[in-house]
Each structure stands twice: as C-alpha cells, then as structure tokens.
Amino acid sequence: MNKKLMAVAVAGALAAPAVAFAQASSVQIYGRANLGFDSAEAKGATAANSDHKRRNRVFDSSSRLGFQGTENLGMGLKAVFKIETGVNMDNGSNTGQNGGVNGATGYLASREGWAGLAGNWGQVLFGKQNVWWTNLVDQTQANYINVGVQFATGGFGIMGAPTIRTNNTVKYISPTMGGFTGFLSYAPGSESAPANAETDDNVTGATLTYRGPLLAQFDWAKSEVGTGEKTGTKLGLGWPYRPGAILSAIFIQLKSEAGGAETKQDGWQLNWSHMFGNLQGIAQYGQTKDINGTSNTGSKAWLVAARYHLSKRTGVYVSYTQIKNESGQKADYTGGGMGVAQPGQLALGADPKIFAVGIQHNF
C-alpha cells in the first residue's frame, strides 16, 4: 500500500511542473471558412481559339485553420508561435479553383508557420512569413470577399511580385513608436544547394507602417536568384474617414534585372469600403502601365461588391470583378488559386471575369 501511495506522490510531483507551465502559456485555435459559387471566364485572347470559356465553380477562397500562442518567460520576455494552414473545403485537396496546385493549402503551415521571442525591444521570428504580400490599407481579398484587384500583391501578370509568403525567413518587428512599426526580413534561398553551386540566392524585405489619423505603408522587397533580380516598391495611403469606412490608394513599381537588362513596370490601385449599418459596400479600380520598351502590355481592373454582416463573425457577399488586358498582357487572379487559368497559362489579351456569391465565417 505504501508503495502505491509513493508512486502516486511521485507521479503528482512530476506532473506539477507541466501544469505550472500550461498555466503560464496560452494557445488560440482560430480559422475561417470562405466558400461560394462563381461563374468565371476569360475571353478576347489575342490568339485564335485561346479563350477560356465560361465555367461554373464551387469555390473556396483562402479558408484556413490556425494555432497561435504565447508563453510568458519572465523579465518581460515571451515565446510566440503561429501555425496557419490553408484548407480547400470545396474539394479536400490542394487543388485551387483554376485546376492547378494551390500552394497555400495541403500541408501544415502552408500559409504561415513561425516561432520566436518577443519583448519590449520588439520580436524576432523564424519560419514561413509574409514579405511584401500584405496591405494595411486594403483588406478586400484578405478579409472581406473572394477576390480583389491583384496589382498590389500578386504582381502585374507578365511581371510577378518579388516574393509573397516566403519560406525560411528570419524577421525582426520593431515596437510601435508614435504609430510607426518597422519590419525587416531576410530569407536565404540556397540551403539545399548542391556541392560547388552558388549560394547567394536570397530574399530581403523592409516594411514601415503607420497607424494614426491616416494609415500608411511602405514596402520594399528584392529577390535574388542566380544572376537575376526582382525588386518591388509599394506605397499605400489610407484615410479612415469614419468608423467602418476607408478610402485608400496604393502605388507600385516592379523591376526585373537579368543579363544586364532592366525591365520596369508601374501600377496603381484605388480601394473603397464603407459600412451602411450591416451592409458593407466595396469598390476597387487599378491600372498598370506598359512594361518599359514593350507596347500593349498594360491592364486595367475593377471590382464592385456588397457584403451583409449577419453577425460579427459571419457575412454573405456578392461580387463582380474584371481584368481588361491589352493584347500583350495576361494578368489573372493569383491569390488562393482563384484565377480563371492555371498560373502562367492565361492567353495574352484574354480578360478574366468572375461573378460570385459567397459566405464567410470566422471562428
């Protein structure tokens, strides 16, 4: 009997530290279901017999499941982590609406996954993280509906963004001072390089945000692969003119250098969102100019949408969006596999259109 009591006492003593640690940490489970029905096409291609005919789709747009948490370590120091996984609830696979692989789904931490330390000096994080991809002044596709005008995140079509969510990234986030927060990112791109291969590939990024009477964001990112470079610069300004409403503009420049030749393209995007009671109105318009030295490579895009908030976490919406490509351009909807064509397969001059109705629930 004494042996049994001793075993129970020892087990209790061993379990006590685990309970104490659990009380000092917190883990949050969260997620999103964003699904609906849309009708998509891309007609007007420059080459004959290259149109993408209208097709109906039950879509999933960036549904996700995430875990994030902190542990207080004392002396103002905390351990932090996040594991966010994209899930295709429409088909249970990693195939996007365009029929191609949706790289943001299908495996753990497919959207983001990082761990690090935080204190009054800021945060240092290691893992897969957003670099260049996000926009403080435009939340249309990130949080409201199925898609948005893509110019400020997914590139201009022929000219892609320097990076999006970036693997193997170390990031420093400064404390917020006077409304300003800074972000510095570095991702080596050569960890699997074979023997005698060059190991200079990398992605670097810098972001500065301001939250106050106005919202502002400056982004710069550069990707170096082999002898080529891609660089993006972005400036966003937003005016939250009343609670639940914002008017914003984003100006973007993409550059590519290879073999001593530089390619450059400029674009801009306007965004508007306004709450009328439970009804949210959304509109966007954007343009890209011709690639330097190449005519008929610009595009225009617009979007109108309405979302009705059934509760703080659930909304239903309807949206219509179109990209008008010139004869030498092929911009499509790149985020979340929502494009009409698979990546890179849209015909030059084709004009993607999507009409959608959907529901989004956040938990």
Distance CA(250)–CA(231), nearest Å, equals 16
Please report whether residue 162 resides in a domain.
yes
Span of 16-25, 149-158, 267-276, 317-326 with lowest mean pLDDT:
16-25
Which position has the token pair 């911009």?
331
Lowest mean pLDDT among 7-11, 254-258, 267-271: 7-11
Measured between alpha carbons, how far is 20 from 16 in angstroms, rounded to an integer?
6
Within a domain: residue 317? yes
CATH code of the domain covering residue 62 = 2.40.160.10
pLDDT value at 36 more than 70: yes
- Enter the pTM of the model: 0.90
Percent of the chain scoring above 70 in pLDDT: 93
Residue at 124: amino acid letter: V
| Residue 322 φ/ψ region, left for φ over 0, alpha for ψ in the -120 to 50 degree band, beta for the rest | beta
Q: Is the pLDDT of residue 239 over 60?
A: yes
Residue 24: the pLDDT is 64
Quick check: helix, strand or coil at residue 45? coil
| CA terminus-to-terminus distance, the chain | 50
pLDDT at 6 over 60: no
**12-to-6, 15, 17, 25 alpha-carbon distances in Å:** 10, 5, 9, 20
For residue 22, tell me if it sits in a domain: no
Query: Residues 6 or more apart from 265 whose CB is under 8 A from it?
Result: 156, 159, 253, 254, 288, 289, 290, 291, 292, 297
pLDDT above 90 covers what percent of the chain?
A: 82
The answer to whether residue 175 sits within a structural domain is yes
Mean pLDDT of 17-28: 61
Any domain includes 8: no
Q: What is the residue-wise DSSP string for 187-199?
A: EES-TT--TT---
For residue 5, what pLDDT is reported? 40
The answer to whether residue 46 is domain-embedded is no
Residue 258 falls within a domain, yes or no?
yes
pLDDT over 70 (residue 338): yes
List the domain range (segments joined by +) for residue 163. 28-41+55-362
How far apart (Å, rounded) are the C-alpha atoms in residues 166 and 130? Answer: 6
pLDDT, average across residues 64-84: 97
Task: Give tens-digit pLDDT for 175-213.
Answer: 999 999 999 999 998 888 889 888 889 999 999 999 999
pLDDT at 7: 42
Residue located via tokens 């190991």: 199
DSSP string, 91-136: TSSSB-TTSSB-TTBSSTTSSEEEEEEEETTEEEEEEEEESS---T
Q: Does position 10 have pLDDT exceeding 80, yes or no?
A: no
168-173 mean pLDDT: 98
- Cα–chain center distance at 188: 20
Mean pLDDT computed over every residue of the chain:
92
- What's the number of domains the chain is made of? 1
Establish if 2 belongs to a structural domain: no
Residue 168 has pLDDT above 60, yes or no: yes
Looking at residue 259, its pLDDT comes to 83
